[in-house]
Amino acid sequence: MAYLGIPKNTVEILQKYNFSFQKKFGQNFLIDTHVLDKIIASAEITKDDMVLEIGPGIGTMTQYLCESAKKVVAVEIDKSLIPILEDTLSEYDNINIINEDILKVDINKLVEEENEGKPIKVVANLPYYITTPIIMGLFEKNVKVESITVMVQKEVAERIKSGPGTKDYGALSLAVQYYAQPQIVANVPPNCFMPRPNVSSAVIRMKLHKEPVVNVCDEELMFKLIKASFSQRRKTLTNGINNSPELKFTKEQVTKALIQMGKNENVRGETFTLDEFAKLTDILKCTQT
């Protein structure tokens, strides 16, 4: 078995198929067995699990996943990689390769068909240009997922993990933390990839909450308030909400709600916790009805 985590084997398979890296797909293949071991261990894959892998590339991590999981479904957008995957994964009978754009796949249907509707685990070395839409798509579509363990740009991982009052804290931090508990499990330098990216990477594991961490009367409204509060970081939360084309609250309504919460009217969104955004949503929702 030629493990692709060994750089020599990756080079051989790329030359065999005369493969050219596609910049538009953000392709950077892992060539470090220690990082691969760390990802598999962090994801806690067992023989009971179905794993959805997004962007398997030439199958480097897929080989490891197939050996650890009951079943692996790998979704790859680049059709030129399909014959390579069929070659590098030919020894495994627990793999289903799908040539599709993950953003267009009905993942709920996939979970129903491939895993009888039971929760799956997601593992991926994500293309950095669409990291957020992929992660948020899994959350917002209420896909039955137990955990998501992904390689992302290091600064994105830090943004996801950060808390109120820090420079990295923002709408993405709040959105992810509403759905899951994030933990950075490894930092990965550029030399662990082929070709080398221009940025450092990190592996982040997001374990989905079994119960909501906050109760809010209108989830959609809360996320609109969060988005508005961070769209102009230097502005006060009141001005951010007032300037949002998606929201119809007056400055007076927002100020009144903040006072009701015991907050100063000049408070900024970056100081607000998820719980406080939920409370603000509930108060403002009442002013509408």
Digit-coded pLDDT (tens) for 261-273: 999 989 999 999 9
Angle of helix 171-179 versus helix 219-231 axis, rounded to 10: 150
Q: What is the pLDDT of residue 24?
A: 76
Which phi and psi angles does 196 have, rounded to 5°? -70, 130
- What are the pLDDT digits (tens) for 246-265? 999 999 999 999 999 999 98
The pLDDT-based confidence of 196 (bands split at 50, 70, 90) is: very high
Are 117 and 125 contacting, i.e. CB atoms less than 8 angstroms apart? no
Give the integer Cα–Cα distance in Å for 108 and 58: 25
**pLDDT digit string (tens) for 133-174?**
999 999 999 999 999 999 999 999 999 999 998 999 999 999
pLDDT value of position 189: 97
Residue 23 has pLDDT above 90, yes or no: no
Q: Per-residue confidence at 2, pLDDT binned at 50, 70, 90? A: confident
pLDDT reading at 288 higher than 70: no
Query: Across residues 55-61, what is the average pLDDT?
Result: 96
Q: What is the pLDDT of residues 176-188, one digit of tens each?
A: 999 999 999 999 9
Burial class (CB in 10 A: 0-12, 13-18, 19+), 123: buried
Domain at 7-208, CATH from 3.40.50.150, 3.90.480.10, 3.40.50.300, 3.40.50.620: 3.40.50.150
129 band by pLDDT with thresholds 50, 70 and 90: confident
Residue 287's pLDDT is what? 67
Query: Taking residues 228-247, what's their average pLDDT?
Result: 89
What value does the mean pLDDT of the chain take? 94
Q: pLDDT-based confidence at 26, cuts 50/70/90?
A: confident
Amino acid present at 3? Y
Span of 73-77, 86-90, 229-233 with lowest mean pLDDT: 229-233
| Most confident segment among 3-7, 67-71, 192-196 | 67-71
Q: According to the 3-state scheme, what is the secondary structure of the chain?
A: CCCCCCHHHHHHHHHHCCCCCCHHHCCCEECCHHHHHHHHHHHCCCCCCEEEEECCCCCHHHHHHHHHCCEEEEEECCHHHHHHHHHHCCCCCCEEEEECCHHHCCHHHHHHHHHCCCCEEEEEECCHHHHHHHHHHHHHCCCCEEEEEEEEEHHHHHHHHCCCCCCCCCHHHHHHHHHEEEEEEEEECHHHEECCCCCCEEEEEEEECCCCCCCCCCHHHHHHHHHHHHHCCCCCHHHHHHHCCCCCCCHHHHHHHHHHCCCCCCCCHHHCCHHHHHHHHHHHHHHHC
pLDDT at position 232 over 80? no
Q: 219-288, which class in CATH?
A: mainly alpha
- What residues does each domain of the chain span? 7-208, 219-288
Do residues 89 and 63 touch, judged by C-beta distance below 8 A?
A: yes
At 36-51, the pLDDT tens digits run 999 999 999 999 999 9
Percent residues over pLDDT 70 in the chain? 99
Q: How much is the average pLDDT of 215-238?
A: 91
Mean pLDDT, residues 7-35? 90
Quick one: pLDDT at residue 289?
Answer: 53
> Backbone dihedral region of 262: left (phi > 0), alpha (psi from -120 to 50 degrees) or beta?
left
Query: Residues 6 or more apart from 73 whose CB is under 8 A from it?
Result: 50, 51, 52, 53, 95, 96, 98, 110, 114
105, two tokens: 């796949």
pLDDT band at 20 (very low <50, low <70, confident <90, very high): confident
